[in-house]
């Protein structure tokens, strides 16, 4: 049976920090990233692709705000904005993937699945919204939106000041249609799913699917999907080629091979930043603990060259490959 890999594309795989976010920029970045997945396909892997959506869904929220204030167009809720970003980003990845497949004469079909992620409506995260979304408002606007919409805000600590809306970030407990994802992927179709962590929903007391005004950590959702479809390997593509100790300090050290215990030890010690590497390490460990063979964290352009990338396994790999 062919190996199954889940590849989580980080934000840098779609949009660079120094770019304005035009579709031309995003398509070129996506094309360059997908080129680095060809070796997996040629090695006989079946693959599922997940992706982030932070900048894109933020822009959709700001477009919502502008449409309401200028043209009185009703704003769409957060779950619908996540769905919009999933569809548009999925379409872009799917189209660029077809171009890569054509270039390399590979026969795979590609499909995008707009995906819901189930959360527990009693998750503690709903009591402490912390994830900043959308634009920065002044205090008068913040007070008006709090009264009108019931939004919760936190003050920005950056130089420009102001206030941003915060929403909960609950832990995903299931990915809807994961059996469909696994079936298609094991048949050789490249599946794009669980974009942006998935559209957050919960199941109410009578079994109905209800939207949750929340956002879900994309790496945790990707790890959960990888575990539930029994993937062999889990790749997180980011903007650095390795996991590092003392990142960007004079004593910076590459961590190329980690077992589960050492990875957890560093995580518990607060070595990795919560806004950067820590969620990726957490997701990589979760995948290994749930039966996955190997998690790899690396830069998209370094993936094919196996001398790059930090590999996390349950125990140290004897062959160090």
Which residues form the catalytic set? 11-12, 131, 218, 280
Tell me the CA distances in angstroms from 117 to 39, 167, 218, 221, 281, one per residue in order: 30, 16, 10, 8, 21
- Three-state SS across 68-104? HHHHCCCCCCHHHHHHHHHHHHHHHHHHHHHHHHHHC
C-beta of residue 141 within 8 angstroms of C-beta of residue 69: no
- Judged by DSSP in three states, 173 sits in strand
**Which pair of tokens denotes residue 222?**
């990707």
Give the helix/strand (H/E) hosting 108.
none
216: β partners: none
**Which pair of tokens denotes residue 24?**
């031309």
Closest to 295 in 3D by CA, of 274, 308, 305, 281:
281
CA atoms 153, 155, 158, 161: torsion sign = positive
Tell me the CA distances in angstroms from 163 to 58, 75, 91, 130, one per residue in order: 15, 19, 33, 13
Rounded distance between C-alpha atoms, residue 52 and residue 216, angstroms = 10
Tell me the CA distances in angstroms from 37 to 58, 164, 258, 266, 269, one per residue in order: 28, 37, 23, 29, 33
Rounded distance between C-alpha atoms, residue 110 and residue 152, angstroms = 39
Rounded distance between C-alpha atoms, residue 112 and residue 57, angstroms = 17
């Amino acid at each position: 049976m062919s190996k199954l890999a889940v590849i989580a594309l980080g934000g840098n795989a779609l949009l660079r920090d120094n770019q304005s976010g035009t579709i031309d920029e995003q398509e070129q970045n996506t094309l360059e990233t997908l080129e680095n997945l060809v070796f997996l396909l040629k090695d006989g892997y079946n693959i599922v692709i997940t992706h982030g959506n932070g900048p894109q869904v933020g822009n959709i929220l700001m477009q919502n705000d502008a449409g309401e204030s200028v043209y009185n167009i009703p704003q769409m809720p957060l779950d619908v904005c996540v769905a919009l970003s999933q569809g548009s980003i999925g379409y872009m990845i799917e189209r660029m993937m077809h171009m890569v497949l054509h270039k390399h004469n590979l026969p795979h079909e590609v499909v995008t699945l707009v995906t819901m992620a189930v959360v527990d409506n009693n998750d503690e995260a709903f009591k402490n919204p912390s994830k900043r979304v959308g634009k920065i408002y002044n205090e008068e606007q913040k007070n008006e939106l709090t009264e009108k919409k019931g939004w919760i805000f936190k003050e920005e600590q950056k130089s420009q000041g102001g206030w941003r809306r915060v929403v909960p970030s609950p832990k995903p407990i299931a990915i809807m249609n994961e059996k469909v994802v696994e079936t298609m992927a094991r048949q050789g179709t490249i599946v794009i799913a669980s974009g942006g962590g998935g559209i957050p929903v919960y199941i109410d007391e009578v079994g109905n699917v209800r939207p949750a005004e929340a956002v879900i950590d994309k790496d945790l959702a990707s790890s959960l999907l990888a575990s539930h479809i029994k993937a062999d390997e889990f790749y997180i593509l980011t903007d650095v080629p390795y996991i590092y100790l003392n990142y960007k300090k004079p004593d910076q050290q590459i961590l190329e091979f980690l077992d589960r215990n050492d990875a957890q030890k560093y995580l518990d010690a607060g070595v990795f930043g919560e806004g950067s590497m820590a969620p990726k390490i957490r997701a990589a460990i979760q995948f290994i603990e749930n039966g996955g063979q190997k998690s790899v964290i690396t830069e998209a352009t370094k993936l094919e060259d196996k001398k790059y990338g930090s590999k996390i396994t349950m125990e140290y790999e004897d062959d160090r490959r």
